[in-house]
Structure 1
């Protein structure tokens, strides 16, 4: 009584808008669903002057292309009601309205369903039937209006045809879901397909219609994000493009882009292809989108040569099992109140209904001489024709829409007390289900449909659905669509693309994928260098520099090889660097090692000669012991050069300069001692000289010991404070690791060389001053020449040492050691050996006295 009073007050005549109710088609069931579907359209929008009560909007144009989706809803309801597993003992019914492609009529139908009858007061229902728990429908523009109203009470709406991206906004449309894929997914899918086939240089024709503008933005954004450049971007306006289209197509002809995406309406696409045909433009690959790729454009035979091999996207076109049987058993008499069933029948069988004995057509396009419709005609169809029917995609989505609601209701009714998802683990009241409770289950629904495909929604209410990639081809003088792939699992990481390349028919021939790039790929070993003022897809291929590689096609950078590696000739991989040092195996090292051994053996032979003839006058007159020591030190000087040859190690790096410095200091000290002894001996012969006490081996030993110890001290400081160490040099020579010794301290190295120069200079000065002493066996002149040679060699060594690189630095030092040592051997001991071996008559005391 209270409820009736409330309804009487709330819905009094003065509180209602006087709008005649819309006709509906209702089939009763335990649970009644609402359906708002586009079936017919109006030819023109009436002009309302408000001088009289506005007439109802005329809906007279039958849309046969969408009617099969209405039949798919009937088929799905029939399947659910006959299923022993889904909603057992419960029947689904529905209340269907024709939206007439009109937002006002869609809203009126929504109010009529949610108010329980002809009184339009949403959320008030005084009729016996309950408010539908969910609504199926409508197209994008109408769904926006319906979703705003139903979202107020969180009443679920499931659309199978709305694709506008804004409906994914759950803050604005919290109760909207859809089994069709949002058009915003198409740009990402198209770009993925371009990436798949290597099309990085594409053209775009975009419609100026507001419906396509968000997709235009998304398409350019996705292209930029994925490194695909747009060669041209043309906006197509149907009214103004008759003059512009020829210019646009001419631009396409001149462009190097061979792949063009047509993001337009069917009418605009037809206008574009008409001009393409007129200009005889061939060799371009046209990419279609869902809005036109499955439209009657492909029925125009004059366009078949242009469209042959075209690839496009469409909503998933799975075959519904037994749907063809349902269509074959369909009779108008069983659904006599169904919207436009007679018009559907007329267009399907090209017949006319008999009304009062006369054949009267209820729809346009039926010939006057067409036979009468009997209602017993049988639809001849099979799964193949169903799949190639462009309307099958909407059929499949409509079927999924009803099944999602059925599964959500089934899950809601299957809830066990204490295990529910609501407060206190409660379940919904099965006799008073709230819309938001069903919405909870709808958002989480998951099932395998009758085609074997998963159906579920993401957080935005969009189906985890699929696009089919279709290839249109001519076969046996008839056109048909072939499914060659799918795009699925749209997420933040992007769509997953599956394409069977071998199944695609290309206009250029089997396997001849069209090429659409601004610049050809850069092979490994090269990098891409952008062209000034051009998009990133236009570039030059620049070879990688030495020491850098690129091992991938179209690499943007070259990568530096590790320190111990170098690039190969193709700059495609890093190979180990050649380790270089002065080795015994190469000619230079072999020659120097040979000379070192030969000279050391020669020196030992000279020593043997001196030992053998030790009692002769020449040997005794030139300080025999110093000569022995000098020859031994020269031998070690020659041999120490071997420490500089071969693979350096920590030990050789430490000792080689020390050996060189000590042996040469000993050698020069012996020569200095010889020179000093000669001068002292001459001065001591004068009467009353006090130098006689200095003539003897003690003086020589003292000079040698002091001179050598100074060098030993310098070297010890060097080895303790700044020890040499093994150091590979990766950068001195290209592609080579120079394995050498770091001297530790350049200052200490030159101190060692400088001290040798200091000793040699003193020896040279003293010998030079004593060169004319009247002594037949005076060797001061020979020492002068030897010291002059020594100083010349080591003076030349310094600039040569500083100007050479790599192993030749070591070679220069070895050369200086060998030449300076050989000079000492030749100038000091050459004349003596000549006398001892070849002129023994001169090697006598008598000859010396006679000469004196």
Structure 2
């Protein structure tokens, strides 16, 4: 308890001592480059120079001041527009009436070290008098700056504990949107999340799937490129390489340029800061590297002093997003005369001394710009600074309770935190018509202009607007491009191609190359029966069952229907032989009819002969039913007609064979067998044998008849239109019955082959049955193994072969005797040594 009381007493003494101690600065004070006193003060931090020469740090003597060189014209203009906006507000009677705004603008020289020094300088203010006390309140209400993201991170982290609002006109890193880390940060430009998406969308829009990526090795470049790479991956864009460098690492820059030169990607996304881009352009120009389509960001795409004859050779046709250009009325005139007369502390006129007694030599580089204003039309960040100054003014206007008639209450003490809260609620329109407000992250709405580096007919370089990106619009309407107005890299009018692999045309599919990004692939033709009807298809689609792919594999067409038709060569040949057989059979019938009274006709049972010729004619005719497109009726007719006509034919042959045997028996003494197999019995046997086949066919057609069938088993690319047997049992029953009669006929004729006649009918029947059985025995395996229309052809061939065999074996010898050997057409010659036979 005693220790606690002692500590409390000590703390009270230290606190009292601090309050009564005058403020003192340690070291040499850092003075602003440009300043003016006022009732309220706004700080400004810009990289007005881009190079810094460090002094010796040997610690043998006090380090000298840092030396800055190489004017950064863009940031110098930002400082000028800040002063211009402040002077305009000071003259206004409606905004902060009777209140003057002062400013203190510091130069960071593009150095992180100087950024920290400038930040401390702007927060501390000038020298303190002996009576000034350290009250903990900064001597300013807001800070405008920095122009780069990394420097702005340093600035915001330093000012954060003091809750001083920082408003940047050009720091776009998405990292600064974190309100937990940067609660008092605001910006009049959108964060890079939108620009990263826009970059991916523009690459996707032009069909570039293979790009290179370069970024600054700082918060701006790293965060912006990380967002782009993520979105590019989602959009199917492949990145060949992603490299980065920082402005002080010359060797790394040369390696980056070497990678660009060796890369195959023709499109390069450059998320590079203003300073780094200048160095990259210099290296590209030195090595005369050209032909790459550069896609840039707002930090450098509209920098006027970057577009020169040398740089245009390397970067001509560059395309990128720029801050919308807004013309600020009166600014061009201001920077030529009024700024140098009133705001600038040093003049080239003789006898004019600096109001701060500074050495004017430090302003020599700036004085060289006194009459230069060609870059002003492209000062796109100027409006952002203008908006930032007016946003602070509107915040102060509300905090000072300003009224048009009464002015503002100058006696009010304004805390930085109050300005932060007031900035969150600002909502006004500047005189150029733009609406100013801050979203929940302290940023502005993303609105970009798409510009293209072009050279006009007069040889002048320009940034031509070719579209826009507006994040406030619906997703599909955000990006608008006028491609016909774009001049591409190398001055080409045709859009360059940048792909790892060319697009796969319809009829092919993409196959990834092993170990390479998904944008690198081979184009594999679709397999038979598969198609792809779109470019860069991932997979081929299987055609429906009755369809097949065309030759180009890009469309499904109906499969060809295959059947034995009358128009093809095979069909014509078979029709010819069918008609030929019919013709010969008819001629034989005519011949037999004309010679019906001759002995050879009578000796061979003319009635059965004519019936056999009729059945053979039907057999030749039934072969025609197998040719042509199968239909329901043709399928039923072809098999039943074949079965019935062949049974009729075999029945006649069987009848003739039996007659021969009976006739021989009848010649034997005491035999009366012919009365049991006379003409009536012969006709009846033929009828019975045929009716049995008719009954089998009727049962077949009743139970499961043949029907047209699309057979897709043998061929994938075509459909065999054939007749399905329906009941296979019915088919084999019909065929088996024919085979049974043929076998019986063959056996009987074989037994009678040596009967003692000069003209032995049984011998010829034996030969015909031998041919018939041979044909149909070989038909079965050929029928089973032949695919498609060849099955039908085999069946027709078997019908024709067996029919011709019967026709020639049975009737050819008789026709030979009738036509060429009429002297043998006598009863005595036919009977030979046997006795007369009466039929």
**Same fold (TM > 0.5):** yes
When residues 142 and 764 of structure 1 are mapped into structure 2, their CA distance, relative to the original with a 3 A threshold, is same
Moved more, 456-465 or 767-776: 456-465
Paired with 1:449 and 1:531, the residues of 2 have a C-alpha distance of 58
Paired with 2:779 and 2:807, the residues of 1 have a C-alpha distance of 19
Aligned partner of 1:580 among 542, 551, 562: 562
Paired with 1:667 and 1:331, the residues of 2 have a C-alpha distance of 126
Deviations 1:630-655 (A, max 9, x none): 22222221111222222222322333
Paired with 1:838 and 1:448, the residues of 2 have a C-alpha distance of 126
TM-score calculated relative to the size of structure 2: 0.73
Q: What SS does the corresponding residue of 2:224 show, helix, strand or coil?
A: helix
When residues 483 and 351 of structure 1 are mapped into structure 2, their CA distance, relative to the original with a 3 A threshold, is farther
Please tell me whether the aligned partners of residues 326 and 432 of structure 2 are also in contact (alpha carbons under 8 angstroms): no
Q: 1:57-68 alignment to 2 at 5 Å?
A: 65-66=74-75, 68=77
Q: What SS does the corresponding residue of 1:354 show, helix, strand or coil?
A: coil
Q: What SS does the corresponding residue of 2:380 show, helix, strand or coil?
A: helix
For residue 11 of structure 2, what is the aligned residue in structure 1? none
Q: What SS does the corresponding residue of 2:567 show, helix, strand or coil?
A: coil
Deviations 1:318-377 (A, max 9, x none): 23363557747984599x7xxxx326x96xxx7799348999666834269x79x9xxx9
Paired with 2:548 and 2:302, the residues of 1 have a C-alpha distance of 57
Q: What SS does the corresponding residue of 1:644 show, helix, strand or coil?
A: coil
Q: 1:291-302 alignment to 2 at 5 Å?
A: 291-295=299-303, 298=306
Deviations 1:279-305 (A, max 9, x none): 44444444433334445761677x435
Please tell me whether the aligned partners of residues 41 and 59 of structure 1 are also in contact (alpha carbons under 8 angstroms): no
For residue 366 of structure 1, what is the aligned residue in structure 2? 364
Please tell me whether the aligned partners of residues 210 and 499 of structure 2 are also in contact (alpha carbons under 8 angstroms): yes
Please tell me whether the aligned partners of residues 450 and 469 of structure 2 are also in contact (alpha carbons under 8 angstroms): yes
For residue 214 of structure 1, what is the aligned residue in structure 2? 223
Tell me the CA shift for residue 271 of structure 1: 4.1
Please tell me whether the aligned partners of residues 155 and 439 of structure 1 are also in contact (alpha carbons under 8 angstroms): no
Paired with 1:744 and 1:93, the residues of 2 have a C-alpha distance of 107
Deviations 1:607-658 (A, max 9, x none): 4454555555444444444334322222221111222222222322333222
Tell me the CA shift for residue 400 of structure 1: 5.9
Tell me the CA shift for residue 276 of structure 1: 4.0
For residue 409 of structure 2, what is the aligned residue in structure 1? none
For residue 265 of structure 2, what is the aligned residue in structure 1? 257
Paired with 1:694 and 1:252, the residues of 2 have a C-alpha distance of 111
Aligned partner of 2:45 among 38, 41, 48: 38
For residue 818 of structure 1, what is the aligned residue in structure 2? 800
Aligned partner of 2:636 among 654, 660, 664: 654
Tell me the CA shift for residue 142 of structure 1: 7.9
When residues 484 and 746 of structure 1 are mapped into structure 2, their CA distance, relative to the original with a 3 A threshold, is same
Moved more, 277-286 or 673-682: 277-286
Q: 1:116-515 alignment to 2 at 5 Å?
A: 140=149, 160-168=169-177, 178-242=187-251, 244-295=252-303, 298=306, 303-304=310-311, 306-320=313-327, 322=329, 324=331, 327=334, 331=338, 341-342=343-344, 354-355=352-353, 364-366=362-364, 386-387=376-377, 389=378, 392-398=379-385, 450=432, 463-471=445-453, 473=455, 479-489=461-471, 496-506=478-488, 508-511=490-493, 513-515=495-497
Matched, 1:739 2:721: yes
Paired with 2:327 and 2:146, the residues of 1 have a C-alpha distance of 21
Please tell me whether the aligned partners of residues 35 and 94 of structure 1 are also in contact (alpha carbons under 8 angstroms): no
Paired with 1:805 and 1:136, the residues of 2 have a C-alpha distance of 88
For residue 678 of structure 2, what is the aligned residue in structure 1? 696
Please tell me whether the aligned partners of residues 46 and 146 of structure 2 are also in contact (alpha carbons under 8 angstroms): no
Aligned partner of 2:745 among 755, 763, 774: 763
Q: 1:406-805 alignment to 2 at 5 Å?
A: 450=432, 463-471=445-453, 473=455, 479-489=461-471, 496-506=478-488, 508-511=490-493, 513-574=495-556, 576-611=558-593, 614=596, 617-683=599-665, 685-686=667-668, 691=673, 694-697=676-679, 699-701=681-683, 703-729=685-711, 732-733=714-715, 735-744=717-726, 748-775=730-757, 778-805=760-787
Q: What SS does the corresponding residue of 1:831 show, helix, strand or coil?
A: helix
Moved more, 598-607 or 831-840: 831-840
Q: What SS does the corresponding residue of 1:290 show, helix, strand or coil?
A: coil
Tell me the CA shift for residue 768 of structure 1: 0.9
Paired with 2:238 and 2:806, the residues of 1 have a C-alpha distance of 78
Paired with 2:280 and 2:588, the residues of 1 have a C-alpha distance of 105
When residues 256 and 137 of structure 1 are mapped into structure 2, their CA distance, relative to the original with a 3 A threshold, is closer
Paired with 1:400 and 1:839, the residues of 2 have a C-alpha distance of 128
Paired with 1:487 and 1:83, the residues of 2 have a C-alpha distance of 34
Moved more, 397-406 or 787-796: 397-406
Tell me the CA shift for residue 465 of structure 1: 1.5
Q: What SS does the corresponding residue of 2:265 show, helix, strand or coil?
A: coil
* Structure 1 stretches lacking a partner, 5+ long: 1-11, 48-56, 123-130, 411-432
Paired with 1:172 and 1:712, the residues of 2 have a C-alpha distance of 101
Paired with 2:354 and 2:831, the residues of 1 have a C-alpha distance of 169
Paired with 2:690 and 2:84, the residues of 1 have a C-alpha distance of 114
Please tell me whether the aligned partners of residues 323 and 449 of structure 2 are also in contact (alpha carbons under 8 angstroms): yes
Tell me the CA shift for residue 201 of structure 1: 3.6
Paired with 1:407 and 1:585, the residues of 2 have a C-alpha distance of 94
Paired with 2:218 and 2:787, the residues of 1 have a C-alpha distance of 73
Q: What SS does the corresponding residue of 1:782 show, helix, strand or coil?
A: helix
Deviations 1:169-193 (A, max 9, x none): 6787799775423223344333444
Q: What SS does the corresponding residue of 1:205 show, helix, strand or coil?
A: strand
For residue 3 of structure 2, what is the aligned residue in structure 1? none
Please tell me whether the aligned partners of residues 48 and 75 of structure 2 are also in contact (alpha carbons under 8 angstroms): no
When residues 682 and 13 of structure 1 are mapped into structure 2, their CA distance, relative to the original with a 3 A threshold, is farther
Please tell me whether the aligned partners of residues 156 and 436 of structure 1 are also in contact (alpha carbons under 8 angstroms): no
When residues 278 and 138 of structure 1 are mapped into structure 2, their CA distance, relative to the original with a 3 A threshold, is closer
* Structure 2 stretches lacking a partner, 5+ long: 1-14, 26-30, 57-65, 109-114, 126-132, 398-417, 835-839
Please tell me whether the aligned partners of residues 705 and 726 of structure 2 are also in contact (alpha carbons under 8 angstroms): yes
Tell me the CA shift for residue 311 of structure 1: 1.0
For residue 9 of structure 1, what is the aligned residue in structure 2? none
Q: CA RMSD in A?
A: 5.6
Tell me the CA shift for residue 816 of structure 1: 1.8
Q: What SS does the corresponding residue of 1:816 show, helix, strand or coil?
A: helix
Tell me the CA shift for residue 589 of structure 1: 1.7
Tell me the CA shift for residue 530 of structure 1: 3.7
Deviations 1:35-55 (A, max 9, x none): 7753578979999xxxxxxxx
When residues 721 and 402 of structure 1 are mapped into structure 2, their CA distance, relative to the original with a 3 A threshold, is farther
